[in-house]
A and B are shown apart, each in its own frame.
Chain A
């Protein structure tokens, strides 16, 4: 019998991370999609860095940043009693940073895809920016929101390098499914590794299938 805990932990991490990402990414993408200042260009580049950076590089710097021996880690520990290295909370923070571009990029495209005349029309009908966002922009960029959510979720499930650096391999706390596979392979338990892998493969396939299915349905509408 396999240990289900790593799978459940991966799932929990993905849910928590995706919810946090949605909350911070919608306003951030809204702001980034408007105007063309150089500052926004630089910020967008920083946000996109995890797309091209080796996960181990990112994990290494986050490990240093979160470590109590350095400023940020020390600050969090002293004032908030928060330890981010080798904890689930640390995994959440790392995953949010690592998966941010997967959420932000589709959302920015979504904001660009809604014609500006729609927002202009909402303004001329007396609606403020918040009402326009909530009632006009977001409902008309649903395919982008679905893609962003599902891709971020799948990306968190699949991440390995960053979580290994930040979380290590503590059962029930930071031992995720992807790490469990690595662990089982190292212990020569190929059959267990295979079961984890098949499950992850099926989840990933189902997630991608649902994205394509939903997008096709929304496009037909």
Chain B
């Protein structure tokens, strides 16, 4: 659906670098873009949205070009019909939640009213509609920003670090909400994050960017550092704490909303510390399966 080939001089953490990215994105997929801060992730989203220019390249959506430097073609951001969710939410402080959504539509046509009502309900914002944006919590701001980005019924949704300032519980709820919005509105979604676990569970494809170049690309499992694992169950999590009991170590790992305690030998525990991202896998010979209540 989206075919990107761009070259741009980029100011990165290690100085000037050439951003050179070729990427193909399939219709209906969620693509996660991961990389350190300053790797060019946000710049890539802004280029796709038409908010930043490039030195060279093209962006093709289905059969039309949004950008083609050879033909001096540039479709302005207003005409690209993209939903963009900014890292700082970019809610208009002079408007209420509802007005932020209304801003996106041209008229007060009946149809747009229905769309806004539907989105307010979907994003659980009905009770907050008259609130000023500075009265909202981080999660509420994020839901408003996503709802606003969807008002114009975009085909492409771009999310810039949508989980970075949310606590774990809100983060997990937001991931589910984005997944269901993605399905409900038939979106093609790009999520940028510096934190791999955030996009791991959501993405069909993960692209790892470093200093403006694509370093790895593939399914979430493909891009994991260690592909030798043959476990049938595989989860990614974050170490919360490590405690020693007699000769063994007990490691608490946060996976999604669950905290799982894993027993480890000293050899395994060496080199691990709280905050590390880890993969927990198990060969599941005889898993027990029951219906959840």
Contacts and interface: CB of A to CB of B under 8 A. Distances in A.
A98 B92 CA distance: 35
**Interface of chain A: mostly helix, strand, loop or mixed:** helix
Contacts of B151: 125
Contacts of A122: 92, 103
B82 A140 contact: no
A136 B148 CA distance: 15
Interface in A126-146: 126-128, 135-136, 139-140
Interface string A106-133: 0000000001011011111111100000
A121 B93 contact: no
B166 interface: no
Contacts of B83: 124
A126 B93 contact: no
A130 to B, nearest CB: 12
A123 to B, nearest CB: 4
A124 B79 CA distance: 8
Interface in B55-97: 76-84, 86-88, 90-94
Contacts of B46: 120
Contacts, number: 58
Contact of B82 (A124, A127, A135): A124
Given A117-B86, A135-B103, A124 B92 contact: no
Contact of B94 (A115, A128, A140): A140
B86 A123 contact: no
Contact of A125 (B93, B94, B152): B152
Given A135-B103, A140-B94, A126 B78 contact: yes
B272 interface: no
A139 B83 CA distance: 23
Given A115-B88, A120-B84, A123-B51, A140 B93 contact: yes
B51 A120 contact: yes
B78 A128 contact: yes
**Interface of chain B: mostly helix, strand, loop or mixed:** loop
A121 B78 contact: no
A145 to B, nearest CB: 13
Interface in B29-61: 46, 49-51
Interface in B82-140: 82-84, 86-88, 90-94, 103-104, 106
Given A125-B103, A125-B152, A120 B86 contact: yes
B2 to A, nearest CB: 16
Nearest to B52: A120
Contact of B90 (A121, A126, A127, A139): A121
A117 B90 contact: yes
Candidate in A115, A117, A121, A124 with the most chain B CB atoms within 10 angstroms: A124
Contacts of B148: 121, 125
B61 to A, nearest CB: 15
Given A117-B88, A135-B103, A123 B93 contact: no
Contacts of B90: 115, 117-118, 120-121
Given A139-B94, A140-B93, A140-B94, A124 B49 contact: yes
Candidate in A117, A120, A121, A135 with the most chain B CB atoms within 10 angstroms: A121
Contacts of A118: 90, 92
A9 to B, nearest CB: 38
Contacts of A127: 78, 103
Nearest to A127: B78
A128 B77 CA distance: 9
Nearest to B46: A120
Interface string A87-107: 000000000000000000000
Contacts of B152: 125-126
A35 to B, nearest CB: 13
A160 to B, nearest CB: 39
Given A120-B46, A124-B84, A125-B103, 20 more contacts: A115-B90, A118-B92, A120-B77, A121-B148, A122-B92, A123-B51, A123-B76, A123-B77, A124-B49, A124-B77, A124-B149, A125-B152, A126-B78, A126-B79, A126-B81, A126-B104, A126-B106, A127-B78, A135-B103, A140-B94
Interface of A: 115, 117-118, 120-128, 135-136, 139-140
